[in-house]
Amino acid sequence: MRDQFQKPQISKIASGLLRTPGLFRNLMLMATGGTVLFGLVLGVGVLRSGSRFFEGLGAMFSLSQPKPEVDVRTLVVRQVRGASELTTSVFTMESVVPTRQEQKLGNYTIGATTLLYIAYGEVRAGVDLKDLSPADVQVKDNTIQLRLPPPRILDSKIDVNKSSVYDYNRGFLGLGPDVAPQLQTLAQRETLKKIQKAACDQGILKQANDRAELVVEKLLSTAGYKAVVVKTQAPVSGSCL
């Protein structure tokens, strides 16, 4: 029943369109006019620009991919950071440090223990290249300019394998306290301070800066730049004892 109802409706609509020839004629004229207008535009474009017209038309409908951009500064930072902590100056020193601990009874000293420690210490200085950022790198034409982080003490330690206790004495009748480990630790701590001060007094940070400049300059020269400029910074206040 539903199909029988729809078929007469469609027949009525078709017969209505056929009875209105003016409407059908107008639709045909609009389609023909649009085709003719597009043909005229196409012809004029071909006459005026020749093959360039088709190239431009093709460009409108073709997908173009821009050239990939490479951040050279980031690549340089990654390359230099590979060296991590760049140790460019090492100061070594052997020092003899005496230590003493008394044993008291009330206000009276009844004995004393002395320990003489021969310590071998080492201080390393340089620049931490992990602190580099792309803002520290400037690239122009074939010239690259890089600013290094400030130099600092990277490490200081007592080499226990090369150090030793030279003398340990608990005094008369051994009345001094038995504090060998404590005195040895105290000797190592005081030796480390002494060696750090000696390294700073002899300009270890300046040496680290100068050598870091040469090392990084050679490293960047292998990247193919004609000119390499490496700038250093002054040490941060208080970074050296």
Give a yes or no: residue 237 inside a domain: no
Distance CA 15, CA 9 (A): 10
Considering the domain architecture, whether residues 37 and 124 belong to the same structural domain is answered as: no
Domain count of the fold of the chain: 2
Give a yes or no: residue 27 inside a domain: yes
Quick one: how far is CA 184 from the chain centroid?
Answer: 41
User: Of 76, 86, 67, 80, nearest to 225 (Cα)?
Assistant: 76
Task: State residue 210's pLDDT score.
Answer: 92
Give a yes or no: residue 219 inside a domain: yes
* Predicted confidence (pLDDT) at residue 9 exceeds the cutoff of 90: no
Give a yes or no: residue 238 inside a domain: no
Considering the domain architecture, whether residues 28 and 125 belong to the same structural domain is answered as: no
What is the chain's Cα-based Rg? 44
Considering the domain architecture, whether residues 80 and 187 belong to the same structural domain is answered as: yes
- Residue 29 amino acid letter: L
User: Of 108, 99, 96, 103, nearest to 172 (Cα)?
Assistant: 103
Considering the domain architecture, whether residues 103 and 202 belong to the same structural domain is answered as: yes
Give a yes or no: residue 236 inside a domain: no
The mean pLDDT value for 14-25 works out to 51
Considering the domain architecture, whether residues 106 and 156 belong to the same structural domain is answered as: yes
Provide the residue range defining the domain that includes 24. 2-61
Considering the domain architecture, whether residues 130 and 207 belong to the same structural domain is answered as: yes
Considering the domain architecture, whether residues 27 and 76 belong to the same structural domain is answered as: no
Considering the domain architecture, whether residues 77 and 21 belong to the same structural domain is answered as: no
HSE-up of residue 228 (Cα within 13 Å, Cβ side): 16
Distance CA 35, CA 163 (A): 99
* Predicted confidence (pLDDT) at residue 202 exceeds the cutoff of 60: yes
Q: Which two tokens stand for residue 48?
A: 């005026």
88 and 125 in contact (C-beta within 8 Å)?
Answer: yes
Q: How do residues 33-92 score in pLDDT, each as one tens digit?
A: 555 454 555 455 544 555 554 455 555 545 555 554 445 556 555 655 555 667 788 999
Phi, psi (degrees; rounded to nearest 5) at 184: -65, -40
Q: How do residues 168-187 score in pLDDT, each as one tens digit?
A: 999 888 888 999 999 999 99
Is residue 199 very low, low, confident or very high in pLDDT (cuts 50, 70, 90)? very high
Considering the domain architecture, whether residues 110 and 200 belong to the same structural domain is answered as: yes
Domain end point (choices 21, 39, 61)? 61
Considering the domain architecture, whether residues 40 and 103 belong to the same structural domain is answered as: no
* Predicted confidence (pLDDT) at residue 152 exceeds the cutoff of 70: yes
User: Of 166, 160, 168, 165, nearest to 121 (Cα)?
Assistant: 160
Give a yes or no: residue 67 inside a domain: no
Considering the domain architecture, whether residues 26 and 82 belong to the same structural domain is answered as: no
Domain end point (choices 61, 82, 101)? 61
Considering the domain architecture, whether residues 127 and 81 belong to the same structural domain is answered as: yes
Domain end point (choices 11, 30, 61)? 61
* Predicted confidence (pLDDT) at residue 102 exceeds the cutoff of 70: yes
Q: What pTM value is reported for the model?
A: 0.60
Give a yes or no: residue 53 inside a domain: yes
Calculate the average pLDDT of the chain.
76
CB atoms within 10 A of CB 21: 9
Share of the chain above pLDDT 70, in %: 64
Which alpha helices (DSSP H) does the chain contain, by range?
2-18, 21-49, 51-61, 72-81, 180-201, 204-221
No. of H helices and E strands in the chain?
6, 7
Q: N- to C-terminal Cα distance for the chain? A: 104
